[in-house]
Structure 1
Amino acid sequence: MSLLIPFTTFRARLTFRWTLAVGLLLGIANIAVYTGAHLYLHRWMDSNVRTVAATEAASSTDGMSGVHLHEEPFAQLGTGGFTEKLVQIFDGNGDLLLQSTALAGLAPVVPPDAVRAALSGDAPLLSTTVEGRPVRMAVLTATRGAQRYAVAVGLFADDIEQGLSMLAWLLGSVWLVGLAATGAIGYALASRALAPVARITERAAWIAQGNFDARLDAPIQNDEVGRMSVLLNSMLDRLRAAVAANQRFAADASHELRGPLTAMAGEVDVALRHPRSAEGYADTLRHVRERLTALTLLAEDLILLARTQEGARAVVLRELELATLVEAAFHRVETQASARGITLHRAGLEHVHVYGDPALLARVIDNVVENAVHYNRDGGLVQVSARVQEPPPGTWASPIVQIDVRDTGTGIPDTEREQVFERFFRLDQSRARHSGGSGLGLAICREVLRLHGGTIRVGTSSPEGTTLEIRLPGRGPESATGDDLTSAGMNAGVADRTDRPRP
Structure 2
Amino acid sequence: MRGAGRLWTWFRRLPVVARLVLAVALTMSMVLAGAAGLVYWRVQTALDQQLDDDLTTYRHSLDQAVRAGTPLPPGPSGSLHQVLDERGRVLGSSDAVRHRRLLTAAELSAAARGRTVRHDVGPLLPITSGTLRLQARRVTTAGQARIVVAAVRRGHRDEALRELLGQLALASGLTLIAASYVGYRTARAALRPVERYRRGAATFADGAQDLRLDVPADRDDEITRLGHTLNHMLDQLAAASAREHQFIADASHELRTPLTLMRAELDVALHRPRTTDELTETLRSVDTEVGRLVTLANTLLDLEQLASGEHIQRAPVELARFLDDASAPYRGAAERDGRAFEVECDQETTVEVDPRWLEPAVGTLLDNALRHGTGAIRLRAVAHGGRLRLSVSDEGPGFPPDFLAHAFDRFTRAESSRTTSGTGLGLALAAAVAASHDGTARAGNTSPGAVVALDIAC
Global fold match (TM > 0.5): yes
Shift of 1:36: 4.9
2:307 is matched with: 309
Secondary structure of 2:146's match? strand
Secondary structure of 1:372's match? helix
Residue 333 of structure 1 contacts residue 370 of structure 1 at CA under 8 Å; is this kept in 2? Answer: yes
2:453 is matched with: 469
1:212 to 209, 217, 221: 209
1:85 is matched with: 79
Residue 23 of structure 1 contacts residue 179 of structure 1 at CA under 8 Å; is this kept in 2? Answer: yes
Structure-2 separation of matches of 1:128 and 1:236: 75
Pairing 1:254–2:247 present? no
Cα deviation digits, residues 19-53 of structure 1 (max 9, x gap)? 22222332343344434544554454334322321
Structure-1 separation of matches of 2:177 and 2:113: 57
Q: What is the 5 A alignment of 1:12-31? A: 12-31=18-37
2:180 is matched with: 183
Shift of 1:323: 2.4
Amino acid paired to 1:166: E
Structure-2 separation of matches of 1:292 and 1:388: 40
Structure-1 separation of matches of 2:89 and 2:70: 14
Secondary structure of 2:131's match? strand
1:447 is matched with: 432
1:403 to 386, 390, 406: 390
Q: What is the 5 A alignment of 1:71-470? A: 71-72=74-75, 83-103=77-97, 105-128=98-121, 132-219=129-216, 220-311=218-309, 313-377=310-374, 380-390=375-385, 399-428=386-415, 431=418, 435-458=420-443, 460-462=444-446, 464-470=448-454
Give the TM-score normalised by the residue count of structure 2: 0.89
Task: In structure 1, list runs of 5 or more residues that go unmatched.
Answer: 73-81, 391-398, 475-503
Cα deviation digits, residues 202-258 of structure 1 (max 9, x gap)? 322232232222222244312111222222222222221111111111000000000
Secondary structure of 2:270's match? helix
Residue 25 of structure 2 contacts residue 180 of structure 2 at CA under 8 Å; is this kept in 1? Answer: yes
Mean Cα deviation higher: 291-300 or 337-346: 337-346
Cα deviation digits, residues 333-366 of structure 1 (max 9, x gap)? 2454234322211123422333221210101110
Secondary structure of 2:67's match? coil
Shift of 1:455: 1.5
Shift of 1:430: 6.4
Residue 403 of structure 1 contacts residue 470 of structure 1 at CA under 8 Å; is this kept in 2? Answer: yes
Instruction: Tell me the C-alpha RMSD between the 2 structures.
Output: 2.5
Relative CO higher for 1 or 2, CA cutoff 8 Å, sep ≥ 6? 1
Structure-1 separation of matches of 2:256 and 2:213: 40
Structure-1 separation of matches of 2:27 and 2:412: 67
Seen in structure 2, the aligned counterparts of structure 1 residues 291 and 149 have a Cα distance that, compared at 3 Å, is same
Task: In structure 2, list runs of 5 or more residues that go unmatched.
Answer: 1-9
Residue 258 of structure 2 contacts residue 289 of structure 2 at CA under 8 Å; is this kept in 1? Answer: yes
- Number of matched residues? 443
Secondary structure of 1:384's match? strand
Structure-1 separation of matches of 2:281 and 2:119: 123
2:66 to 56, 60, 66: 60
Cα deviation digits, residues 249-283 of structure 1 (max 9, x gap)? 10000000000000000000100112112232122
Structure-1 separation of matches of 2:426 and 2:230: 33
Seen in structure 2, the aligned counterparts of structure 1 residues 253 and 56 have a Cα distance that, compared at 3 Å, is same
Structure-2 separation of matches of 1:91 and 1:327: 121
Residue 372 of structure 2 contacts residue 417 of structure 2 at CA under 8 Å; is this kept in 1? Answer: no
Structure-1 separation of matches of 2:178 and 2:249: 62
2:7 is matched with: none
- Give the share of equivalent positions with the same residue, in percent: 29
Structure-1 separation of matches of 2:299 and 2:93: 115
Cα deviation digits, residues 436-479 of structure 1 (max 9, x gap)? 41011111111111111122112x414611222211233xxxxx
Structure-2 separation of matches of 1:126 and 1:142: 18
Q: Quick check: which one's helix share is greater?
A: 2
Give the TM-score normalised by the residue count of structure 1: 0.82
Residue 412 of structure 2 contacts residue 424 of structure 2 at CA under 8 Å; is this kept in 1? Answer: yes
1:10 is matched with: 16
Secondary structure of 1:249's match? helix
Secondary structure of 1:109's match? coil
Secondary structure of 2:219's match? coil
Cα deviation digits, residues 77-130 of structure 1 (max 9, x gap)? xxxxx6311011124553222212443x53343334434433332211122359
Structure-2 separation of matches of 1:70 and 1:353: 109
